[in-house]
Structure 1
């Protein structure tokens, strides 16, 4: 018999809740047996948020609280082998000037430190590639933070052979040191 009596009460509560929801009247509360309403405490707010009731509605609202604490800047380190900072292009032989040439760009990836690069460019025999160097160009270059410096490496060379000259350019060294 108790089961029979509870079903109509539960059905009445569900119908009243549905009607209140349709009218926008549902809030934080619970209907107790006997028709008494009780305020239900909302769950605790998630970490980083604070609780304050909404004005006029009685329902809780969550407002984020923000705080910023900068993380310590890690000490900037560098690899003394600066070949990854250097790029070369336009490997050529200038027939009128009788010299080997190579355009080299050096980019300093640091945003705070100036570096000195000790550069060495080789022109190597390409056919046959037997490890023979035609010439070597060495130069020191200073590059400020975040900047790129470009220069042309040259080596005077007169081709005395009647055969075609086959060569390749390579950045052999880019020793990097902090100023």
Structure 2
């Protein structure tokens, strides 16, 4: 009895192997486009869910292949035309300052000024005026004025300390002030 069971199982495996090989051969011959189906082999069917993405069996050129129109070339890139730099004679936006101070021992106003030339091509001369303005009351009057011309090359930054000395001695009380860049006329050299 045990021998019969083993023989029966062995036959089933052999039948499956032959059936699977036959089905694989049928699929290969049908997809390849030549040969005839083996008798009793199932005809494979292609559905959109089974076929590779973008594959159309009726189209001889699969959509995955690039056509000459689809290929990328460096000539396809866009680069804008170079634009001419604009020139604004008011250079106050090119000037920044820090450390607006008054020294009691020196009786002197100071202000650290940086001038940055935004041009990548031209050198500019800046005619700069710095005022130490009254802050309380803010009546539009200045405690002091500093003027200087400075030359700045393309893309460079020049920094200096603006100073204004007063001869008040020790005869001044408490006062408030702020620093302002009141003029920065820019000239192209």
TM-score range relative to shorter protein: 0.5 to 0.7
Among 150, 174, 185, the alignment partner of 1:164 is: 174
The aligned residue for residue 57 of structure 2 is 29
The aligned residue for residue 87 of structure 2 is 78
The aligned residue for residue 64 of structure 1 is 72
Pairwise CA distance, 1:40: 5.3
TM-score in terms of structure 1 length: 0.68
TM-score in terms of structure 2 length: 0.65
Cα distance in 2 for residues equivalent to 1:128 and 1:63:
72
Cα distance in 1 for residues equivalent to 2:49 and 2:130:
83
Is contact 2:55-2:62 (8 Å) kept? no
Is contact 1:123-1:135 (8 Å) kept? yes
The aligned residue for residue 113 of structure 1 is 122
Which ranges of structure 1 fall in alignment gaps of 5 or more residues?
1-14, 31-38, 53-60
The aligned residue for residue 161 of structure 2 is 152
Cα distance in 2 for residues equivalent to 1:112 and 1:98:
42
The verdict on how the C-alpha distance between 1:143 and 1:20 changes in structure 2, with shifts beyond 3 A counting, is closer
Q: Which has the higher strand share?
A: 1
Pairwise CA distance, 1:19: 9.6
Is contact 2:126-2:187 (8 Å) kept? yes
The verdict on how the C-alpha distance between 1:40 and 1:141 changes in structure 2, with shifts beyond 3 A counting, is same
Cα distance in 2 for residues equivalent to 1:154 and 1:165:
18
Larger Rg, first or second structure (1 or 2): 2
The aligned residue for residue 151 of structure 2 is 142
Cα distance in 1 for residues equivalent to 2:49 and 2:112:
79
Q: What do residues 19-72 of structure 1 show as CA deviations (whole Å, max 9, x unaligned)? A: 9936x6x94332xxxxxxxx45678x9xxxx715xxxxxxxx943233056543
Pairwise CA distance, 1:130: 1.2
Among 16, 20, 23, the alignment partner of 2:45 is: 16
Q: What do residues 125-167 of structure 1 show as CA deviations (whole Å, max 9, x unaligned)? A: 1111111211111000111111111111111113354411221
The aligned residue for residue 177 of structure 1 is 187
Cα distance in 2 for residues equivalent to 1:87 and 1:113:
20
Cα distance in 2 for residues equivalent to 1:162 and 1:107:
36
Which ranges of structure 2 fall in alignment gaps of 5 or more residues?
1-43
The alignment yields a C-alpha RMSD, in angstroms, of 3.1
Is contact 1:159-1:165 (8 Å) kept? no
